[in-house]
């Protein structure tokens, strides 16, 4: 039992619990806060996978920007309790739950086939793995075109958001 194992199971259990809270809470604000907690625990597992740059980006973008936007919308629309959330069991809901469970069973079956531990890396390689410098270098050399495409996508998203916000639907 080393620290990595303990931390992994702690993060995993907490992430699953808070993800359950996202689905189960009745008020949207509790869902949003549980989701923020999930993102933090997931960032923890990212660090265990030596992806600390992605972990920081996760906190920066997901927790710091996207979820704040969600919170802002919830507060702006003043969504207190779940409006019209009918708690009755419908055919669609049961089917949805069954679909989710069977998908999990299928995925678990596939995933258990992935054997073995992570590849061992040399010290120099390990020191560079997951750093901002390494990520940036790969991004700006091999993946330059997709990177530019994503920047275009963000631009389109900004324009689209402005148009949608101004238009009357």
Partner 1 sequence: MVPTSNYLLLAAALFCMGMLGVLVRRNALVVFMCVELMLNASNLTFLAFARHRGDMTGHISAFFVIAVAAAEAAIGLAIVIAVFRSRGTLNVDDIRTMRH
Partner 2 sequence: MSRTVFILVSIFLVIPALLAGVMMGAYALGGWLDGVWFPGAHRLTNILVLMLVFVMVLASLLTLAERKWSALMQNRIGPNRADLFGRPVPAGIGHFIADALKMLTKEDFRPAKANTFLYNLGPLLAFAPVFALFAVVPAGPTLEVFGKTVDMVVATPDFGLLFIFAIASLAVYGTSLAGWSSNNKFALLGGVRAASQMISYEVALGLSLVGLMMAFSTVQLPAFVGEALGTGQFRYLWGNDAAMGLRPGFDVGLPAWGIFLQPVAFVLFFAAAFAETKRAPFDMPEGESEIIGYFVEYSGMKFGMFMLSEFMEIVILSGVMVVLFFGGYHLPIGEEWLRGTELMRSYPLLLGAVLGMVFWLKVLTLCYLQLVVRWTFPRFRYDQVQKLGWKMLLPVGLVNVFVTGALVLWDPSLRLLALSGLLVIAVVLALTMAAPGEAPAEAHGEGHGHAHGDTTALPPSHAHATGHAQVHALNAHTAVPQKLETPERTPVAASH
Q: Of 76, 69, 80, nearest to 36 (Cα)?
A: 69
User: Is the torsion defined by CA of 87, 77, 151, 59 positive or negative?
Assistant: negative
Length of the chain measured in residues: 169
Q: Which is nearer to partner 1, 127 or 161 (CB)?
A: 161
Tokens for 62, please give them.
Answer: 């997901």
Q: How far apart are the C-alpha atoms of 65 and 67, rounded to whole Å?
A: 6
Cβ neighbourhood burial of 135 (10 Å; 0-12, 13-18, 19+): middle
DSSP designation for 120? P
Tokens for 32, please give them.
Answer: 């949003």
Residues of span 53-92 touching partner 1 by CB under 8 A: 53-54, 57-58, 61-62, 65-66, 69-70, 73-74, 76-77, 79, 82-86, 92
Per-residue binding string, partner 2, 13-32, x by CB under 8 A, is: ----------------x---
Per-residue binding string, partner 1, 96-115, x by CB under 8 A, is: xx-xxx-xx--xx--xxxxx
From the list partner 1, partner 2, none, which binds 152 (C-beta under 5 to 8 Å, kind-based)? Answer: none
From the list partner 1, partner 2, none, which binds 84 (C-beta under 5 to 8 Å, kind-based)? Answer: partner 1
From the list partner 1, partner 2, none, which binds 75 (C-beta under 5 to 8 Å, kind-based)? Answer: partner 2
Of 21, 37, 48, 63, the one binding partner 2 (CB under 8 A) is: 63
Least Å distance, CB 106 to partner 2, is: 36
**Cβ-contact 70, 32 below 8 angstroms:** yes
Q: Which is nearer to partner 2, 30 or 102 (CB)?
A: 30
- If one counts every other C-beta atom within 10 angstroms of the C-beta of residue 140, the result is 10
**Cβ-contact 63, 36 below 8 angstroms:** yes
Residues that bind partner 2 (CB under 8 A): 29, 33, 36, 52-53, 56-57, 59-60, 63-65, 68-69, 71-72, 75-76, 78, 131-133
């Amino acid at each position: 039992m080393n620290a990595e194992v303990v931390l992994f199971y702690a993060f995993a259990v907490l992430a699953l619990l808070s993800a359950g809270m996202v689905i189960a809470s009745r008020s949207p604000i509790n869902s949003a806060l549980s989701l923020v907690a999930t993102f933090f625990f997931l960032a923890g597992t990212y660090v265990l996978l030596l992806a600390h740059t992605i972990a920081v980006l996760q906190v920066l973008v997901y927790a710091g920007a996207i979820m704040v936007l969600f919170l802002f919308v919830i507060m702006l629309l003043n969504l207190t309790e779940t409006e019209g959330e009918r708690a009755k069991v419908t055919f669609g809901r049961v089917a949805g739950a069954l679909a989710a469970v069977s998908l999990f069973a299928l995925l678990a079956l596939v995933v258990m086939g992935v054997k073995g531990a992570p590849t061992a890396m040399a010290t120099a390689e390990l020191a560079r793995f997951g750093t901002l410098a390494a990520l940036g270098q790969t991004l700006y050399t091999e993946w330059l075109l997709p990177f530019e495409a994503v920047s275009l996508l963000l631009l389109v998203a900004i324009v689209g958001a402005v148009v949608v916000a101004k238009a009357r639907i």
